[in-house]
Amino acid sequence: MELMNRFCPRILSACFVLILFMAPVANGQDMIEHPLTDLDGFQAPADNWRIVGAIEADRHGVADIQTTDGDGILLNMPSDGARENLFTMWEHGDIELSFEFMMPKGSNSGVYLQGRYEIQLFDSWGVPNPTYSDAGGIYQRWDPARNEGERGYQGHPPSMNVSRAPGLWQDFYILFQAPRFDAEGRKVSNAKMVKVAQNGVVIHENVELTGPTRAAGFSDEQALAPIMIQGDHGPVALRNIRYNLHLPAAAEDEKPPRFVPAIHVEPTSEAEVIRGFVNHDGAKKTRTISVGDPDGVHYVMDSAQGAVLYAWKGRFIETTDMWHSRGTQQLAVPRGSVLTFSGRPAVARLESDSIVWPDSMGADYVFKGYDLDADSRPSFHYTMSDVTITDRLLPGDNGRQLEREIVVSGDDSGSSEIWVLVAAATTISEGDDGVFRMEGNTYYLELLDSGGGEAIIRALDEGEELLVPVSLSDGSATVRYALIW
């Protein structure tokens, strides 16, 4: 078996297009927070709307939601007797809007700018080719006077599906420009979705809206009107609703736009493996390996630490700054909705479970390279003193999750115990189903094989760690887990 420990000059499927480098996705400075201590900020809320303090929405059960008393979360639970839409007390023209939402499996809702122009909220987890009716879509307009098959028109799908699993918090950032009217009230310019970003990824830019979308709260167009949240379809929760009643000004330090040929790498029939530099936690990592999979789930491995830095879905990677004129930063940039991990080594020896996990591998760590399977998916190999480690990541559940398998082999006679760091996060909690909720329901982690050890969650000064001890009494041990989002 030949291991690859240098750049392999394979032909990559690079897409050369002309793009405009834009300002950051979100401004979000000095935004007004809509209070969710009660429903006073909404017009005549029906009984399907209430305020709660915490929520769990099942990714397997349709309309299955568990709540805890408190405040901070707006919840819609429609029933046969109450399924009304909800309107804000305040009205808006141009607006900068952000919010988070969560819904159970199979649910459906929407947020209507000015009560008229819908951004769809939907359980679109794993949908390969999203349409206007999927999460992030700008819903179609509807004209019953048109011919059959033509009544729905001007729907706009998101540029890619970056939706997360049911029961996880997702976020939207929207810049909306209201329609303009002259002194006589005639419309002189259409409404426009200037920018819509879902989970940190821009999915719409400069989309003109010629009129209200289907099921809007109003059929006309106005300069000022309230936000409407759809309440007659399915359960949905929202929190951290923030807004500015104007569009943000460009940052003073924003660099002037420039046109360059963008280089996008996308896997087709087999995985793409790219070695290069990646930014992580404010530092440039110079020994990283980015792996893109045709199933649409990708990751970055730091070969200097045996650590996964990022995982994401959607499109793979942009290498413009690596390959265009040998750019100053020479960085590869993920193109989808990214999960960020601690970057700490996955395997270490600890004298006890109270010892601090090392920030980096010791002098006895040696990266031995990687080999590729028939689909060009790599297995990484390294040694740590008297043990060898094989680390492999594969897509699972039709690209809905990323499964990691760490095999530790060698001598178990050392004075300290071998542990696997499964995850480090701000918060880690185990659900009734045995699946861990990470970062306040930002993603799930399912421990598939603990290698014979019992997983523990230990508290840190900042955050928590999920650790598994492994025994090499049989010569090797395997730890497997799935990242689900």
Task: Concatenate the DSSP letters of all residues of 313-369 into one string.
Answer: ESS-EE-HHHHSTT-SS-B-EE-SEEEE-----SEEEESSTTSPPPSS--TTEEEEE
Q: Which residues contact 309 (CB under 8 A, 6 or more apart)?
A: 278, 280, 285, 288, 299, 300, 301, 302, 340, 341, 343
The reported pLDDT for the residue numbered 327 is 57
Burial of 183 (0-12, 13-18, 19+ CB in 10 A): exposed
Q: Within this chain, do residues 127 and 172 fall inside the same structural domain, yes or no?
A: yes
Is the residue at 250 inside a domain?
no
Which pLDDT belongs to residue 337? 93
Do 238 and 378 lie in one domain? The reply is no
pLDDT band per the 50, 70, 90 thresholds, residue 56? very high
The CA–CA distances, whole Å, from 283 to 76, 279, 280 equal 42, 6, 5
> How many percent of the chain have pLDDT more than 70?
91
Q: How high is the pLDDT of residue 385?
A: 85
**311 and 441 assigned to the same domain:** yes
Query: Alpha carbon 462 to chain centroid distance?
Result: 23
> What gap in Å lies between CA 318 and CA 66, rounded to an integer?
40
Q: What's the mean pLDDT in 196-218? A: 97
**For residue 19, pLDDT beyond 50:** no
d(CA 43, CA 443): 34
Reported as a single tens digit per residue, the pLDDT across 440-484 is 999 999 999 999 899 999 999 889 999 999 999 899 999 999 999
- The CATH number of residue 147's host domain is 2.60.120.560
| Residue where a domain terminates, one of 211, 244, 277 | 244
Q: Is the pLDDT of residue 281 over 90?
A: yes
pLDDT over 90 at 261, yes or no: no
- pLDDT at position 113 is 98
The reply to whether 13 falls in a domain is no
Residue 141 lies in a domain: yes
- Residue with the two structure tokens 């009205």: 91
Measured CA to CA, the distance from residue 115 to residue 154 in angstroms comes to: 18
Of 195, 218, 244, the residue at which a domain comes to its end is 244
Q: Which domain holds residue 49?
A: 25-244
**How many separate domains does the chain show?**
2
Is 158 in the same domain as 287?
Answer: no
Looking only at the bridges linking them, the beta strands covering 117-122 and 108-113 are antiparallel
pLDDT in tens, 228-258: 999 999 999 999 999 999 999 865 555 555 5
Q: Above 70 in pLDDT, residue 160?
A: yes
* Residue 411 confidence (pLDDT): 80
**Does 218 lie in the same domain as 132?**
yes
CA distance 331 to 284: 8
Boundary residue ending a domain (219, 244, 269): 244
CATH number for 428: 2.70.98
- Provide the pLDDT for residue 10: 43
Domain identity same for 400 and 447: yes
Based on the fold, state whether residues 360 and 413 are members of the same structural domain. yes
Same domain? 286 vs 413: yes
Q: Are residues 193 and 322 in the same domain?
A: no
What would the pLDDT profile of 408-449 be if each residue is shown by its tens digit? 999 876 667 999 999 999 999 999 889 999 999 999 999 999
pLDDT at 9: 39
- Mean per-residue pLDDT of the chain: 91
The more confident residue out of 436 and 323 is 436
Q: Do residues 194 and 340 both lie within one domain?
A: no
